[in-house]
Structure 1
Amino acid sequence: MNAAPRPPALSAGGMVSSSHPAASLAGARVLADGGNAIDATLAMAGLTWLTLPGQCGIGGDAFAVVREPDGRVWTVNGSGFGPDGGTPDFYAGQGLTAIPLDGPLAVAVPGAPAALAALHDGGATRSLPELWEPAARIAEQGLPCSARTAGDVGEAARAVAADPGLAEIYAPHGVAAAVGRRLPQPALAATIRALAQHPVSFYTGEFAERAVAALQAGGAPFSGDEWAAGAQVTPERAVTGRYAGAVLHQTPLPTPGWMVLQQAALCDGVLAAADWLSAAGIDRLARAARLSFVDRFALCGSDNRRDGADYILTAERLDAQRRDLDARTEVRGPIAVAAGDTTSTVAVDADGRAVSFIHSLAFTFGAKFTVPGTGVVLNNRLGRGAYLLPGHPNEVKPRRKPLHTLNAWIVTDDAGALKHVGNTPGGDGQVQWNMQLISHLLDHGRDPAEAVAAPRFTVFPGSDADVVGAPDELRVEAALPAAVRDELAVLGHRLVVQPDHGAGGSAQLISVDERGVLSGAADPRQEGVALGVD
């Protein structure tokens, strides 16, 4: 279907994979120096702030799933609240029918610093100053602008030029950054060093005062109390489900990890009986994804677990939905999917500790709004994730976190032994592509390289706030054979063909075989690489 993928990287020791070679190298160096998978993840996170600045940053959100050598699995979930004054009446008084996607009103309290600190406290063996000093040094000297970053700057050119902090780095004197030009960021270097010494200072120190003052000056009704509350991130249990005889571990609310578990329950046993990437298999995955997005839009908020995600995953309801899918009588509803700008990493160390990590600014360069004098770009998660729909469980209100698109996963056997660790960025595509990756691995025995390179397909729309109600599409990459596409059209799908490897995402996978040998691969849709350490 595609050209043969590159063979997976192999290792009998540790392994990392990310969407940029420099980040992977940083993680591999930490493992080679005796650090563990948490250390490697933290090092890669710091590098990606520089290598993929449109996708992630200190001012964004972050989530992780960690599998310990004894089989225990835990998560960290770093996302924050919108402003305490951000009531429905406030936005109505502004004449808004949706929260803006750019500027101070789009911002939620960043969860990434608190999540990274919690991840570090959960089992790192190296200090944060040691792990982040390479990133601070590179920020000070300036990393050459990559093609991806130049493209992101071009995509958001007007907003980049309008923000003094962004313009100073990426469009000085009105000239957009070109590939290869060094981008020194001394203010960001200083922030990274300060954050490494005292992560909580992001929420209660000088940085917090600057951030809240800048947001207030821009019209966002932050009090400062909600910002301080963002410092509280404690480890949580993963949400789990079963698929193809294995156990899936996912990030809990406000992430859509439950959506992957729902799709898994609706597809278990069905996809294994279908040929790999056949019309029948794709049809089932697409219809299961649509049901999941309908449920997300209709029922879910971040704080109504019992009536939302838990209810959706009850055995009785899943059984009824399976019967509807089998009979092709499932109910459709208004849903919407949009892409997003995110990046992710995976790491496994020689002890079998595994980390699936993902972080994001939401859309490219987030809210396109920097905290003056810090180099930190703030996210636009509130604008992307919260609704202005009266009474909806995801309606914006103080101390309610907006729903997220980010999720991360690990697969083990029943005894807790590691089988696979993976993830992908890609907005509402994430929960679909993650399910596809899991099926490629568990139903069809594909190796990581085959799984990440396989033709990708995406139901549109999903449930992002800015595109609710768009017409149904099934977007498929051109590498999917024409005969399969024709069958899908007969089955009632409205197809939109995308270029080969044009669907988006940047999947990362590491698998463990029965001998304990690691195999890993990075998605060819970006310039990432998997590296093994012996």
Structure 2
Amino acid sequence: MNPRPSTLSADGMVSSSHPAASTVGARVLADGGNAIDATLAMAAMTWLTLPGQCGIGGDAFAVVREPDGSVWTVGGSGFGPDGGDVDFYTERGLRSIPLDGALAVAVPGAPAALGALHAGGATRSLTDLWAPAVRAAEKGLPCSAKTRDDVREAHTAIAADPGLRAVYLPGGRLPQVGELLPQRDLARSIRALARDVHGFYTGSFARQAVEALRAGGAPFGGDEWAAGADVRPEAAISGNYAGAVVHQTPLPTPGWMVLQQAALNDGVVGFSPWLTAPAVDRMARAARLAFEDRFATCGAGNDGWKDVLEPAAIGAARDRLDGRRASSGAFSVSAGDTTSTVAVDCDGRAVSFIHSLAFTFGAKMTVPGTGVVLNNRYGRGAYLIPGHPNAAAPRRKPLHTLNAWVITDTSGNLLHVGNTPGGDGQVQWNMQLISHLLDHGLDPAEAVAAPRFTVFPGSDADVVGRPAELRCESRIPEEVRTELERLGHDVALQGPWAAGGSAQIITLDAARGLLSGAADPRQEGIALGV
């Protein structure tokens, strides 16, 4: 696999994990739309191009940098069922919330987040922006190798759901690469959502969804579904790294974990040559410490993350890392299935956007007659640990893996915009991308293609007690891996491009008025300029 060179443009750029999504976004920019318009168009198209990764029934987050230098975010994730406290699940003999079926579902946040993003600065109607996705759903997009593999992975569960089975197992068989997969029910749902985003939470769709979930045994009452409509712009959370400012998504996302790692690595990683053992060792131990702090202190409704970013806490944590006293944690990273986009327009507005169903095809459950696949975020994110800040409880959002970022200089001028999917890998790989860009001056193509490493354990709720590992793509040189083992890491070797993720980066060279961007060669994405 050969990394693609960075794409160059002077007027605007988009990048996503599928060519059809990038093409839609680039056309919006070429027709005079802004980066928010392009993001919304790409979001809907990825519901069709990457259906195992994202959808109307998932969650979504964005960071927006405006031309005046201000930065804001939207966060769309919903509550679990009002009747779903820890006792509800444990009394049914469960040690963790299931990952498939109605019990796995949280109220989808994506529609409300997209509505808030649109209200925050779009220039085109959702009906216009989503028209290409509607046409693609009616006609059917060619099945990609990624979608075929996702269907194969979730085959048994897909076969058990009539809505999924009708689309993804045509004639009862796996789809072939290139085979058209029409989704007429979904086309009708996209049209309805474009006309009235909030109807998803209070109208006929909401009633259908709650009825289906209750029939599946999930203790939804309906009020928590209606409450999911309330998504409003929020300030980004920000921190410094290598003389720049990193802007991240707030709770329930783990954006603070990227900022914590940045604070722990600043002035250390950049003084080691690129991807040498000291640099990898420091970033790996900082990531492991962040996961420990997440599990110990953070739930979606509290401010524990603020405490770990206090200067005294950062100083104490740096002392621990300098003294090589980071411990191994208790929970395992899971990769997850998510997809993301980035866009920059001619005015310098930048959007980093990410959305997900959690794991592949989410809960493997559709709302009958709608084509909408529901997420399994509650099963993935909520703990069955009494008293824990992230324990299952009424009106509590589970912790999230999604996060997105924009980097500016200290005056607010745009430098970079990026993100990557990848479950609990995200907060680690985003730190690595930021270091590649700011510490070592890599261009976007070099940064997204760079060899990755991933610490285990992380903090997903579904698996516990896994041994600590440092998973390294084999392109990290053998001598570096050997030195990491000497430093105490249990190195697990992965294939040269096997870590996961699908990173997107756009960089602005203000001096030349030039944008450069790239999509991760680990998937089939592309960056396009206009």
Aligning the two structures, in what range does the TM-score lie when normalised by the shorter sequence? over 0.9
Aligned to 2:487: 491
Q: 1:532 is matched by which residue type in structure 2? A: G
Q: 2:525 is matched by which residue type in structure 1? A: G
8 Å CA contact 1:408, 1:423 repeated in 2: yes
The question of 1:406 aligning with 2:402 is answered yes
Shift of 1:89: 1.7
SS in 2 for 1:247: strand
Structure 1 residues not aligned, in runs of 5+: none
From 193, 196, 213, the counterpart of 1:195 = 193
From 32, 35, 40, the counterpart of 1:34 = 32
* Distance (Å, rounded) in 1 between the aligned partners of 2:58 and 2:326: 36
Q: Sequence identity of aligned pairs in percent?
A: 73
Q: 1:205 is matched by which residue type in structure 2? A: G
SS in 1 for 2:64: strand
Shift of 1:330: 2.6
Aligned to 1:60: 58
Q: Which runs of 4+ in 1 moved over 6 A?
A: none
* Distance (Å, rounded) in 1 between the aligned partners of 2:206 and 2:239: 39
SS in 1 for 2:407: strand
* Distance (Å, rounded) in 1 between the aligned partners of 2:185 and 2:506: 35
From 385, 390, 396, the counterpart of 1:394 = 390
Aligned to 2:440: 444
SS in 1 for 2:208: helix
Aligned to 2:229: 231
Aligned to 2:3: 5
Shift of 1:335: 2.7
Shift of 1:176: 1.6
8 Å CA contact 1:62, 1:357 repeated in 2: yes
From 319, 323, 331, the counterpart of 1:323 = 319
Q: 2:523 is matched by which residue type in structure 1? A: Q
* Distance (Å, rounded) in 2 between the aligned partners of 1:333 and 1:100: 23
Aligned to 1:527: 524
Shift of 1:179: 1.0
Q: 1:413 is matched by which residue type in structure 2? A: D
From 361, 369, 373, the counterpart of 1:373 = 369
8 Å CA contact 1:169, 1:185 repeated in 2: yes
The correspondence of residues 453-532 of structure 1 with structure 2, limited to 5 A, is 453-513=449-509, 514-532=511-529
Shift of 1:531: 0.4
Matched residue pairs, number?
529
Shift of 1:425: 0.1
SS in 2 for 1:344: strand
8 Å CA contact 2:288, 2:326 repeated in 1: no
* Distance (Å, rounded) in 1 between the aligned partners of 2:52 and 2:333: 20
The correspondence of residues 420-439 of structure 1 with structure 2, limited to 5 A, is 420-439=416-435
Q: 1:527 is matched by which residue type in structure 2? A: E
8 Å CA contact 1:506, 1:526 repeated in 2: yes
* Distance (Å, rounded) in 2 between the aligned partners of 1:50 and 1:333: 38
From 356, 363, 366, the counterpart of 1:360 = 356
Q: 1:235 is matched by which residue type in structure 2? A: P
Q: 2:99 is matched by which residue type in structure 1? A: L
Aligned to 2:170: 172
* Distance (Å, rounded) in 2 between the aligned partners of 1:473 and 1:270: 22
Q: 1:277 is matched by which residue type in structure 2? A: L
The correspondence of residues 34-433 of structure 1 with structure 2, limited to 5 A, is 34-305=32-303, 308-433=304-429
* Distance (Å, rounded) in 2 between the aligned partners of 1:348 and 1:273: 31
* Distance (Å, rounded) in 2 between the aligned partners of 1:447 and 1:363: 31
* Distance (Å, rounded) in 1 between the aligned partners of 2:208 and 2:434: 43
Taking structure 2 as the reference length, what is the TM-score of the superposition? 0.99
Cα shift readout 1:295-349 (whole Å, capped 9, x = no counterpart): 11111100111xx100111110110110111111234432321110000000000
* Distance (Å, rounded) in 1 between the aligned partners of 2:224 and 2:362: 19
Q: 2:91 is matched by which residue type in structure 1? A: G
Shift of 1:4: 6.3
Cα shift readout 1:93-119 (whole Å, capped 9, x = no counterpart): 211111000000000000000000000
* Distance (Å, rounded) in 2 between the aligned partners of 1:350 and 1:133: 24
SS in 1 for 2:447: helix
SS in 2 for 1:17: strand
Cα shift readout 1:465-510 (whole Å, capped 9, x = no counterpart): 0122210010000111111111111111111111111100000000
8 Å CA contact 1:272, 1:443 repeated in 2: yes
CA RMSD of aligned residues (A): 0.8
SS in 1 for 2:423: coil
* Distance (Å, rounded) in 1 between the aligned partners of 2:376 and 2:219: 15
8 Å CA contact 1:18, 1:508 repeated in 2: yes
- Larger mean CA deviation between 88-97 and 187-196 belongs to 88-97
SS in 2 for 1:29: helix
- Larger mean CA deviation between 91-100 and 145-154 belongs to 91-100
- Larger mean CA deviation between 367-376 and 178-187 belongs to 178-187
* Distance (Å, rounded) in 1 between the aligned partners of 2:181 and 2:136: 10
Cα shift readout 1:437-488 (whole Å, capped 9, x = no counterpart): 0000000000000000000000011000012221001000011111111111
8 Å CA contact 2:58, 2:109 repeated in 1: yes
8 Å CA contact 2:362, 2:376 repeated in 1: yes
8 Å CA contact 2:328, 2:457 repeated in 1: no
* Distance (Å, rounded) in 2 between the aligned partners of 1:67 and 1:333: 35
Structure 2 residues not aligned, in runs of 5+: none
* Distance (Å, rounded) in 2 between the aligned partners of 1:4 and 1:485: 22
Shift of 1:174: 2.0
Q: 1:33 is matched by which residue type in structure 2? A: D
8 Å CA contact 2:417, 2:506 repeated in 1: yes
* Distance (Å, rounded) in 2 between the aligned partners of 1:426 and 1:4: 21
8 Å CA contact 1:462, 1:468 repeated in 2: no
Q: 2:421 is matched by which residue type in structure 1? A: P
* Distance (Å, rounded) in 1 between the aligned partners of 2:4 and 2:377: 35
- Larger mean CA deviation between 27-36 and 512-521 belongs to 512-521
* Distance (Å, rounded) in 1 between the aligned partners of 2:256 and 2:331: 17
Q: 2:294 is matched by which residue type in structure 1? A: R
* Distance (Å, rounded) in 1 between the aligned partners of 2:85 and 2:450: 44
Cα shift readout 1:208-239 (whole Å, capped 9, x = no counterpart): 01100000111111001000000000000000
Cα shift readout 1:244-301 (whole Å, capped 9, x = no counterpart): 0000000000000000000000000111100001011000000000000011111110
* Distance (Å, rounded) in 1 between the aligned partners of 2:4 and 2:188: 39
* Distance (Å, rounded) in 2 between the aligned partners of 1:272 and 1:172: 52
SS in 2 for 1:25: helix
